Structures are given as structure tokens and as C-alpha cells.
Amino acid sequence: MVIFLQICRNYCKLIKNNVPKMKYLNVAEKNDAAKTISGFLSRGSSRRRDGLSVYNKIYEFNAAVNGRDVQMVMTSVSGHLLNYEFSGAYRNWRSCNPVQLFDATVMKCCPEDSVKIRKTLEREIRGCSALIIWTDCDREGENIGIEIIDVCRNVKNNLTVYRAKFSEITAASVRRALDNLVQPDQRQSQAVDVRSELDLRIGAAFTRFQTLRLQSVFPTIIDSLVSYGSCQIPTLGFVVQRYKEAENFVPQKFWKLKLTHTVGDLTVEFTWARNRLFDKKCCEVFFMLVKQSPPLLATVMSVTQKPKSKWRPQPMDTIELEKLGSRKLKISAKQTMTIAEKLYQQGFISYPRTETNMFSKEINLRGLVEKQAEHPVWGNFAQRVLEWGPNPRNGKKSDQAHPPIHPTKFTTSLSGNEQKVYELIVRHFLACVSRDALGSETLVSVEIGGEEFNASGLLILERNYLDVYIYDRWSAKEIHEYERGTSFYPSTIDMPEGSTTAPQMLTEADLIALMEKHSIGTDATHAEHINTVKERGYIGEVENGYLVPGTLGMGLVEGYDAMSLTLAQPQLRAGLEADLKAICDGTKNPDVVLKDQIEKYREVYKIITERAQILDEKVGFRFNSTPQQNPQAVESHMMEEVFRCPRCGTNKMVLKRKSTNNGVYISCTDYPRCKSVFWLDDVIKDAKVSGQNCQRCGGETKKITMTFKQRDTWMFLNSDTPEYTSCLLCDSALKSLLDIDIEALRRQGGESSNSQGSSSVRNVPSSGYNSATNPSTSSSRNTRPGSDPSRGYDSQRRGGTSSASSASTTSPTCPKCSQQLKKLTVKKAGGNQGREFYVCPTPENPCRTFIWADEMPAPANPPPRSRATNGRGGSDDGTENPTRPRAKRKCAICRREGHTRTNCPQNINPRTKRQKQEET
DNA sequence: GCAAGGTC
């Protein structure tokens, strides 16, 4: 019986083991979070293995999700996985007018340092049926979550996606999150996308303009980057504002009454209840009243004693660490953070980037204090804290991810600034979990001549936290013993003169406080922004750590101000913040906010470029230098968009001039990701985008005005002059002449987007972020499917991709060699099966002539068009240009017929190489 | 050579 039961049990186990478990991929925002969450959900039993990125490990365990036992795989990203970038053609500073950056296509790309993380996600998601997002529960976290989803859906389109919402990383909280999975918050993510896109467009447009303009106007003075950033410039603005307040300060005299009372060695000073008066005569009247009051006795009106305490600090967050580092240690905020990160990596302190200033109940404070109890300097204090019991004076902020900054390991081996920062963190920690300092304050109020004077004394009873927190001062102040109703003769009564003083320059700590108050940057970025404006030379540090504007910074802000632009004031950024919040609340549409903001800044950009001389003058004034007249124009060159790229379907194609200035080509702005290009230089001398839109192709397609080199070419197009205006997308004769196959490009685009999937974020091309493998692109002259030059178009045909049928005897002639074209039919299965086309019959088809029969102009040899009906040198929409016979064309290199210079055996500079050179 | 936001 026992054996039978055992067999049954084993059988059940076997069946159970053979039922494949559901497998879920879980992704957190950072490795630390993934590790802790896995630990809680697995009750410490998770197994760890390496991912492709050394910093982002993979944890595996089983857990119950929606009532089912699921195999969990947990990994992490390191913050944002994707980043907005301009499409290729706009990345070169001189490629376009900076104003075009307000409209240029931007796309989300995976930066090089995130590729390994992305690849881990792509690999792991293949074996999973669902994805759970565990990023931080804030706006950026929501956006990072969507990035993770995009990457994973690109691999697995039908993926089920969940969002785990947690308020802190504790066992109860993450378990609750897993039991109450929700959907990602698209609105919060959209708000971040709007912010990122705007920052990029505005930052790049203004930075390029300012830099190029000022470098051009002051070539011998300015050779560095004159960057504009929505956080950088308001940060500079704060420093300039304080400087100007001091610069414009006019001191004002004031007078006050002062009374002293000396007994023995102790002099007690009484201050006037009216503090000070700016009117000397008025003050003199009071002075007389007091001095002449008989019998010049001060009467004690009240004596009060009350306990007074000096509060211990709150647990330390990033901002506090930066401020203290700057104020107390005289180490810059940025440097303080760099040191703190190093200490963190060595395990001496907890994670230093935290907005939390309260300890959770779950943290073992006693254990942390115990670690410091043996320290030669503050060990005794730690002992006292243990006797009292650690009792933090908690703040109210929590980022729900990290505890306040505290020491995690005891050490006495540090030195220099590392030792100073570690000591600050330890002393602050011990102070914040100890006790407030206690004292007793005595307030004495006296009356003389109808005027009230006050004095105070302080007796310190218990120093408590002050014993360890050397950065705070609390001084005792002795006072005589007074009794209500008694009187005394003042030792002196004076009327001292004083003067108001200019405000001090900002310290770094003041600046951080201002940035925080006006929502400029985040806790994690304040120090970096300050560092950036220092690096740019916009601000500098003088003695005692005070910040002052530099020459360039001052000139810039004065330039903006003179144009009545509020770029250096914090309101612009604050306005955007309000809009972003509205997007999150669902009261504003992200597209509308983006559009409005872009228009707002475009207007500002217009003003700054039109009135750039004012900027020159203001900067020149501060540099004591005269701006150079007629500077090189920054805004003259506009990249001319022609039509949407048939291949990628997202980006525009633009007309470009070769660097050698001897020809033009049209290429996709997304180069090098999309390599669509039409070379026009063989037969065309010059080309420009006309102002006319092509009515047949649609609103955004522009016609091009071309000037042809040879008479037979424009004759072929039935033009009476070398100049010819038409549409490259729909003019068949023109396409044939230039060897352009639009349909082939479209098909390539379709294939590539099918294989790569697409992203759901705004303005992202169908090819997705730059991770996806780029479809192979033809290196032949003007792209054609499978037209690998080594195989050639004919070999493809022979290979059976499309097969020949009978040739027609009434075929038109080849526009290049004048031979009669051969008519064929597509046999390959697909969209064009059965469609007829013409090709040139010469061996290996060197002319590369290809015309769809149904796009063939008719009649074959029409009478020349009159100028009256056709207009000069152009084609009408809706009418095809007839094919005309032309003289046999000779190769430009060897002067032989039957091929062009592209295919000429004597051509030592093959097109493909040249193409690449042009493109790069 | 551009921004700001995450994080080793």
C-alpha cells in the first residue's frame, strides 16, 4: 500500500513537473532594486546569474502571480534605456539652419552604453509570456517602463504587460504590488516624452545659434561652446540676479538706540524694540526722550524663562549632503557627490542619490550605530546614542526607493576629502538619531522714557547632539539676574549709526536652494547643472565660495534681457512644469502642449536671431570688445525637404549639394540608418527645390527645378530649355532618365518595418530605435530591389525573381541608348505579378532603363509641345512626358557607345565608393 | 561640439 502511494505521489510529481510553468520577465529601474525585490518575493531564495551588462544581474525564483505559480526572471535597466536624437542629416551643425531643429524628425535611440542592457532584455523576453515593470513609481520611472515595454514588444508583439506599483521597497509593499498589478500610466510617460523632446530641440537650436554666432562675431575671444539649456540658463540667471542686486545696491544710513548694563565683568546689551530708524532727526527725538527721562532709571517690565532646544538635523538626503559639503567642508556639490558615489561603491555609505529624509521602521538603526561605537573620536557618542535608543528626527520626504544617506560600514582608513565626507555623513547620522540640545532662555524687557528695550540670555543644559555635530554652533549667553518691578541705572545709552549692506553673492548651497524652490532640475541634477555653467565659463567662484557671473554669462543674460526675453528667468521652466503636470492629470493633451511650447520657443528663436546684434553688443560690452561686423551667417542655410522617404516612410528626403559642389543628390534625413539616395549629378548640372507642390502626389511633395547638362536629355523630357520643373515621384520619364525606382524603395521599407516592428512613442520611425538591424541597402546608383551591383539587374532577372515573357515589337526606345526597349512581365508571386515593364535590351543592361508599361508615357513619339500650352520648361500635373528618341549617348570617359561612365571599365573611381564619400 | 533625465 505504501509503495502504491509512493508511486502515485511520484507520478503526480512527474505530471506536475512536466506542465510547463508560465515564465514572466520582471524589470526594475536599477540593479539594487531588482536585487532587493527578488529577495523579498523569493524570501531570499532567488538564484543569481549574469546578464550581458556587468552591472545588471538576473535573478530567478518562483512566485504566485494572479493565483498561479510562475517562474520569475528579474533584471534591471540603469535608468533610461533610450534617448531622443535628431535624424542623421540634422546632426551636423552646419547641415541645416538651427531653426529647422524645431521641426526636424527626432527618434528614440539606444545609446552605446545601454546596448548590452537592451540585448539582455531582448534575449530574456523570448522565453517569457508576460512582462512586469518594476521601475520607480515617479514620472521618469513610468517613462523608463514604457521604454522597456517598447524594447520587449519589438521582439514579442503579443506580450502581456503589467505594472507593479509600490510606495517603498519592503517585503509587504512589493508583495502587495504583485498581488495588485495594474497597467502602465501612459500620461506620465507622455509628459516625460514632451519634456525630453523640448529640451533637445530648444537646447540644440539655441546652442548652435549662440555658439556659431558669438564665435563668428568674437573669433579671437570665444572659441568654446556657448550652450543653452532649460536648466543651465535659469541657474546662471540666479547668479546674475544676485550680482546685479549687489551691483545696484545703494547703502542707506540708519540709527538706533542702544542701552548697556554692566555689573562686574559682565555687560548685558539691550536692543531697542523699534530696532532702527532711517530718519536721524526722528531717532534723535527718541534719544532725547530716553536720556532726559528723570531719574534715568530703567524699570524691569518682565522677566521670562523658558526652555529652549536646538533641534538635531533631519536624516540626510542628497540635497542636504550637497549643501553641507559646500557650506561646511568647502567641497563643491558636484565633487561631494562624486566622493559620495565612490564611498557608496566601496560599501562605506548607503546610496547617496536619495530624496528620502525619513528612516523607515524596518531599518536597523541600532545596528548601524553600533558599528560606530568603537571609533576613537565619536565612538563614545555612539555609545550614548545606544543607551538613549536611536530616535531619528524624521522629515516628511520619501522617494520610496532609498533610505536617507547613512554610514553602512566602519572605517578609519580614509583620508583627505573622502574622510571629510564620510565623517560628515557619520556625524550627521549619529546626530539625527540622538537628542536635541536643551537650554534655558531668559528674556528681559525694560522701559525707560516710554521706550522698550530687550535683552536675552541662554544657559545650555544638555549639549546632546552638539557633542558630535561639530558643524553647528550654539553659544551660551550670560545675563544678570533681574526681577520684575526693580530698576537699574543703565551704564550707557547711545545712538549708534549704521548702514544697510549689499546682499552677499550666492553660495553654492544658496543656489541649490533656489533651484529647488523654482523646480529647476531635480535633486539628482542640481550639482551637475551648477558644474556645467561653471565649465561653460558662465559663472565662477570667488573667495569663501561665493558665486559670481563670468563675462560671458553676464553678457548673455544682459543680451536676453535687452531683447525682453525671459530666457534666464525660472518662470519659463516653471510654466512647462505646470503643463507637464496637466498632462499627467489628463487635463492637457501632450501633443498640444508640445506644439504650443515649440511655437513659443520658435518665436523666441525668431527674435533672438533677428536681433542678434543686441546680443553681440551686450557680450561685447562685457568683454570690452567690438563685435566684428558682417559675421558669417548662421541661419542662411536651409536644408530643403522634397518629399517623404519612400523607403522608411517616416523621414523627409532633402536636396543636398555634394561637398565638391559639382552636383546634387537627394537623400533621406535619417541617413545612415536609412540609405535612400537619388544621385542626380550624371545628367543634371544643378537642381533646387521649387516652391510648387506636386498636386498628384500630395501636399508635402515638392517639385524640383533641374538644369540639365545635355540637350538630348531635356529634349527627351520634351522641354524646350535646360531647365525643367517636375516631380521625381510621379514623372515616369524623369524617373526613367534618372534611374529611379520608387516602388522598389517602398517595398524595401515595408520589408524592413515588418522585420523590425515599430515603436509606440512619438515621432519614432517605423524602423524603431537604432538597435534593430538595418535592412541591407543597395549600393547601386538609385536603389532598386536586389540590385546588388555585383549581380546586376539582369542576373536578378535570370535568377528568376522576375522572368521574361515575349518581347513586344511596338516597344518604345531606350532614352539612353535609343535601342528599342524589351517588354517583359513579372512572374514572381507578389504585388507586381503579371505587371509588364520595359528594359533596355543591351547586354547586361548598362543603361539600367526600367519603365513600368502602365507608367510608360504615350504616345511614343508625340509632336513637340508648344510653349503656349505647356509653359516653359515644365510639365503639368497629371500629364506624362512623352518618350522621345534621342541620339546615341557616348560614355563620358571612353567616348564609346553602349554604356555610361558609371559602368565604364575605365572608370577608376567607382560610383559606390564616391557615393559613400559623399554621404559621409 | 547641442539638453535634461535616469543610473555603476
Q: Quote the pLDDT of residue A435.
A: 97
Distance A84 CA to B4 C1' (A): 11
Q: Quote the pLDDT of residue A8.
A: 56
Which residues, in sequence order, are bridge partners of residue A549?
A: A539
Q: Quote the pLDDT of residue A873.
A: 34
Measured CA to C1', the nucleotide nearest A199 is B3
Cα–Cα dist A297/A294, whole Å: 7
Identify whether the C-beta of residue A733 lies closer than 8 Å to the C-beta of residue A716.
yes
Q: Quote the pLDDT of residue A12.
A: 52
List Cα–Cα distances, A903 to A665, A667, A909, in angstroms: 19, 22, 11
Cα–Cα dist A690/A706, whole Å: 9
Identify whether the C-beta of residue A86 lies closer than 8 Å to the C-beta of residue A105.
yes
Spatial CA neighbour of A487 closest among A324, A718, A301: A301
Place of cell 540670555: A457
Spatial CA neighbour of A83 closest among A233, A235, A203, A228: A203
Cα–Cα dist A868/A546, whole Å: 77
Distance A94 CA to B8 C1' (A): 36
Q: Residues A442-454: pLDDT tens digits? A: 999 999 999 999 9
Q: Tell me whether residue A351 is one of the annotated catalytic residues.
A: yes
Distance A381 CA to B7 C1' (A): 35
Cα–Cα dist A658/A660, whole Å: 5
Cα–Cα dist A434/A380, whole Å: 13
Measured CA to C1', the nucleotide nearest A232 is B3
Measured CA to C1', the nucleotide nearest A76 is B7
Measured CA to C1', the nucleotide nearest A101 is B2
Distance A174 CA to B5 C1' (A): 25
Q: Is the dihedral of CA A726, A730, A732, A737 positive or negative?
A: positive
Distance A36 CA to B7 C1' (A): 16
Q: Quote the pLDDT of residue A168.
A: 75
Nucleotides of B under 7 A from a protein CB: 1-8
Q: Which single residue has its CA nearest the C1' atom of nucleotide B6? A: A79
Cα–Cα dist A278/A276, whole Å: 7
List Cα–Cα distances, A884 to A813, A865, A878, in angstroms: 8, 12, 19
Q: Which single residue has its CA nearest the C1' atom of nucleotide B1? A: A225
Spatial CA neighbour of A665 closest among A680, A653, A675: A680
Cα of first residue to Cα of last residue in chain A, in angstroms, is 81
Q: Quote the pLDDT of residue A408.
A: 92
Distance A140 CA to B6 C1' (A): 7
Distance A350 CA to B2 C1' (A): 35
Phi, psi (deg, nearest 5) at residue A552: -65, -45
Amino acid at A747: R
Q: Quote the pLDDT of residue A629.
A: 82
Strand A22-28 with A130-134, pairing: parallel
Distance A416 CA to B6 C1' (A): 30
Distance A568 CA to B2 C1' (A): 18
Looking at residue A792, the DSSP 8-state letter turns out to be H
A461 Cβ partners below 8 Å, 6+ apart?
A: A438, A439, A440
List A24, A228, A243, A351, catalytic entry: A351
Measured CA to C1', the nucleotide nearest A79 is B6
Place of cell 559646500: A326
Identify whether the C-beta of residue A154 lies closer than 8 Å to the C-beta of residue A759.
yes
Q: Quote the pLDDT of residue A371.
A: 94
Question: HSE-up of A536 (CA within 13 Å, CB side)?
Answer: 25
Measured CA to C1', the nucleotide nearest A519 is B4
Identify whether the C-beta of residue A472 lies closer than 8 Å to the C-beta of residue A430.
no
Residues of chain A with pLDDT under 70: 1-19, 635-637, 659-661, 681, 750-812, 814-817, 826-834, 837-852, 855-920
Q: Residues A467-504: pLDDT tens digits? A: 999 999 999 999 999 999 999 999 999 999 999 999 99
Task: Give me the DSSP letters along A801-846.
Answer: SS---PPPTT--B-TTT-PBPEEEE--SSSTTTT-EEEE--STT-T
Distance A797 CA to B1 C1' (A): 48
Distance A601 CA to B7 C1' (A): 30
A810 Cβ partners below 8 Å, 6+ apart?
A: none
Task: Give me the DSSP letters along A519-574.
Answer: T-S-TTTHHHHHHHHHHTTSEEE-GGGEEEE-HHHHHHHHHHHHTT--TTSTHHHH
Measured CA to C1', the nucleotide nearest A577 is B4
Phi, psi (deg, nearest 5) at residue A664: -130, 160
CA A413 to chain centre: 39
With vertex at residue A330, the alpha carbon angle to CA A327 and CA A331, rounded to the nearest 5 degrees, is 110
Distance A113 CA to B7 C1' (A): 11
Q: Residues A61-115: pLDDT tens digits? A: 999 999 999 999 999 999 999 999 999 999 999 889 999 999 999 999 999 999 9
Q: Quote the pLDDT of residue A718.
A: 80
Measured CA to C1', the nucleotide nearest A136 is B6
Judged by phi (left if over 0) then psi (alpha if -120 to 50, else beta), residue A800 lies in: left
Q: Which single residue has its CA nearest the C1' atom of nucleotide B8? A: A55
With vertex at residue A357, the alpha carbon angle to CA A353 and CA A360, rounded to the nearest 5 degrees, is 105
Question: Can you give the pTM of this predicted structure?
Answer: 0.77
Cα–Cα dist A460/A35, whole Å: 48
Strand A836-839 with A822-825, pairing: antiparallel
Measured CA to C1', the nucleotide nearest A200 is B3
